[in-house]
Structure 1
Amino acid sequence: MMAAAFAFGELAAMLPGGGMVSDYTLPALGRFWAMLALFSGYVLLIACDGGTQLMMGVASVEPVTGIPQMAVVALLFIAVVAINVVGVGAYGAIESTLTAGMVAVFILLGLFGFLDVGETLGLAENAGGSGFWPEGGAATALGCVGSAIWFFIGFEFACPMAEENRRPQRNIPLALILGLVTIYILDSLFALAAARYVDPAALAGSATPQTVAAGAMLGPVGYGVMALLTILASFTTANAYCAALPRMLYGMAREGLMPKVFLRICKRFRTPTVGIAFTVVLMVFAVVYMGMNGTNADTVSTLISVACITWMISYAIAMIDVLVLRRRYPDYPRLWKAPAAKIVFPIGLAGVAFAIWTLSDYLPAAVISMAVVVAFIVFWTKLKGIDMWEKRPLAEMAQSIRDSSERLPEWDEAVAEWIAEHPAAKES
């Protein structure tokens, strides 16, 4: 995951546009891989996960409030759409405030569980726990690498905000790295505390194991707090999806790789309203699927495992993009560079392959999903008479971002100077 953060950090500093992975891949590997990276990593991800997150959040609250799942989901959808139509300012303020609050409370829950505060206050009883390793030891833990990827999902959704950030070359890589480190520490702390209070089988059999763990550590108070955190987390995840994917689709449409309808923006707020509507429709698919099959551990596991596989493929493409662009454009201004790229990225690619192997039971469903994506790519490029293997010159990509985004002082100046010194780069 850190290798992926390094890749996205360098690429966002090179091309701070809304298209994100498609923008990065067009000059490196060509149109086919650009479209595959976007669809496999984000369209399929949101179709599998967007509604799943909302249903999990609501499922954790329904036993406490008694309010039907679908009613709460509908309210969350309305709130998410309203926030994202108003614009990135409203999104950023709400997302950052909620996230900071959730992180603080999550830290406290993990510490209280780890320090046996619930037991001291008579709210819970330490069950003896299962220790650090699961049954089967390190081999079992390593076999869960693909599932563990899910803890970090969506960390790179900061990248499409690069063109709306004054210093993306500094802020985006820093946000990606600190985000991963924070998630790792918090989830590890909470998981270690949970393992001391709850039978692992009870956690594995629940669609919302975090609420089970919090309830065991701090009684009804812990359950209630974690239920609130879960629904807020599902809300911020849906919010992030509605902020990121529409901008990626906008970037693809700008290159002719998606229908021009995705270029339509709200005149008042200048937000990609068609992309937002499309993202909501994707999330509705998972809501309907879980409504029909139930919000249970098996349904959740199936959806997120398929999403993990397709999502990791886009991560692999991003790592390859960095290596290819360094070879093709060695002197292009990189205002942030991934350290030890020739060592880090092969390790990252091997990690992706191993993580996918640990999810091999879900590979057939992932392959079918990606086959549908490939069929669409072939159909669309043939319909539009586009050479799907053609690479777009990096200078053209950079100029396109300069023309469509707000001024980014340091990046604009560095790129303008490079383009002036390499007039042939537009045809390379």
Structure 2
Amino acid sequence: MPPALVRTLGSRDLTLLVVGNVIGSGIFLVPASVLLQSGGSLPIALGVWLAGGVLSLMGALSYAELGGMDPGAGGLYAYIRDAFGAFPAFLYGWTLFFVIGAGTIATLAVAAAEYLTQFTPLSAVAKQGVAIALIASTAVINVRGLRGSAAVQNVTTGIKVLAIVALSLLLLGLSLGGDAATVANAPPPAPAVTLSGVGLSVIAVLWAYEGWQYVTFVAGEARDPQRTIPRALIVGTVLLIGIYLLANVAYAAALGTADMANSSRVAGDAVTRVLGPTAGKIVALVIIVSMYSAAHGTVITVPRVYQAMAADGVFFRQLAAVHPRYGTPAVAVLSSCAWAAVLAVSGTFEQLLTYVVFIGWIFYALGAAAVIRLRQTQPGAVRPFRVPGYPFTPVLFVLAAAAIVGNTIVAQPRQSVVGLGMVLLGAPAYAVWRRRTTAAP
């Protein structure tokens, strides 16, 4: 009997995986643009962050029902397959492998190497070497066992969460009533708040929350997945909302809303304002850890989709293999990381992600819509968790995802067409794999 994936992830592991996958660099950069698009009003900006968090929670609640129904590997890929068929599910996995997953890993590794230059000078070649070393380290750790890779993820996620919370509380404590600019005395910047500006800021916030759904990919290795997957999705998303709101209030307390809205490095500027210029390196170190943690979480999760696709006979057959000693989809992990390293060295990941990353939201919408579809086609299925507020909860998330996709198409029509074309390149590949699967004895 061939080796199989082992259920080793508990509720804490899964919750930290949700948080670790989401927090990358967004919370260190995005708050400034959100505040600017909110007309410099901190209450409106905080409302936007809360709204984005609630919409993400609606998606998490929808996926929690699906995770309870289908505790196997593959997560979102499997939900789309079961609700809407093998072809759209394959296109999601295809895009995830060649662009979104590998591109995300490459982006985080390259960015972490760039931030390292704040501590020591690095040539262009050296930065590429650092990025490849970071990717290689995640590959080795993940091949050698899920339990060990989860431990690394738990530690790095814990470090960045504690650092963000501690820095936020420190900024609040030293800023309010002190010499630093405060929320109360800071004049609002231009432009004035507009409905379109708030809409754009909601989209930016939803990007900052993106990544919580990756935990569904490892459902096949979760202990008691009908209980732990829903709990991790809900608890992790609620924690993210709290962390993001706290950080925004702290930035505003340190900088004032005017300076915060016009900052290109809001976290670094806030810490520098309160603690001095040398303290900015603290933020750089936190960002490096944060990016590594997000990259590591991506390497933990996305190869499980490729392994599930290969097991279905619609991807490279070797990727279905489970390592006989370590119990991991080793070939899928190594293939994903190797392709990420190629993208990192070539520098093409930025262009690829620009074209297709918005398409991920089409599939996220299909995931939430799968709740409705499977309620209709499988009414008698066991559902240990049922999404509250059905059908409004999944419908609102689908509409939010549609807004992101629609805004991208309107704002960048040429890039959108190219991106859709790149995704549809998977169609002939799918036809080949299906033909082989059908022809197999």
TM-score category of the 2 structures, normalised to the smaller one: 0.7 to 0.9
Aligned to 2:159: 101
Mapped partners of 1:161, 1:23: distance in 2: 12
Kept in 2: contact 1:13–1:168 (CA 8 A): yes
1:7-406 map, 5 Å: 7-40=62-95, 43-67=98-122, 68-117=126-175, 125-126=180-181, 135-139=191-195, 140-196=197-253, 197=255, 199-200=259-260, 203-204=263-264, 209-220=266-277, 222-284=279-341, 286-288=343-345, 290=347, 306=355, 308-359=357-408, 360-382=410-432, 384-385=434-435
Kept in 1: contact 2:136–2:337 (CA 8 A): no
Mapped partners of 1:146, 1:92: distance in 2: 31
CA 1:193–1:7: 2 relative to 1, 3 Å: same
- Which moves more between the two structures, 74-83 or 351-360? 351-360
Work out the number of aligned pairs and report it.
Answer: 374
Structure 2: state its 5+ residue gaps.
1-55
Mapped partners of 1:108, 1:86: distance in 2: 33
Residues 287-334 of structure 1 show CA distances to partners (whole Å, capped at 9, x for unaligned) of 2355x89xxxxx6xx776655512211210101111111101111111
Residues 132-187 of structure 1 show CA distances to partners (whole Å, capped at 9, x for unaligned) of 88733253232122222222222122222222222111111111112222222212
The percentage of counterpart residues that share the same residue type is: 21
Mapped partners of 1:312, 1:130: distance in 2: 37
Q: CA deviation at 1:238?
A: 1.3
Kept in 2: contact 1:215–1:222 (CA 8 A): yes
Kept in 1: contact 2:109–2:295 (CA 8 A): yes
- Which moves more between the two structures, 180-189 or 376-385? 376-385
RMSD: 2.9
* Matching residue's letter, 1:371: G
- Which moves more between the two structures, 142-151 or 5-14? 142-151
TM-score (norm 1): 0.78
Mapped partners of 1:133, 1:304: distance in 2: 32
Structure 1: state its 5+ residue gaps.
294-298, 389-428
Aligned to 2:13: none
Mapped partners of 1:363, 1:211: distance in 2: 34
CA 1:82–1:182: 2 relative to 1, 3 Å: same
TM-score (norm 2): 0.76
Q: CA deviation at 1:224?
A: 2.0
Q: CA deviation at 1:284?
A: 2.8
CA 1:356–1:203: 2 relative to 1, 3 Å: farther
CA 1:90–1:318: 2 relative to 1, 3 Å: same
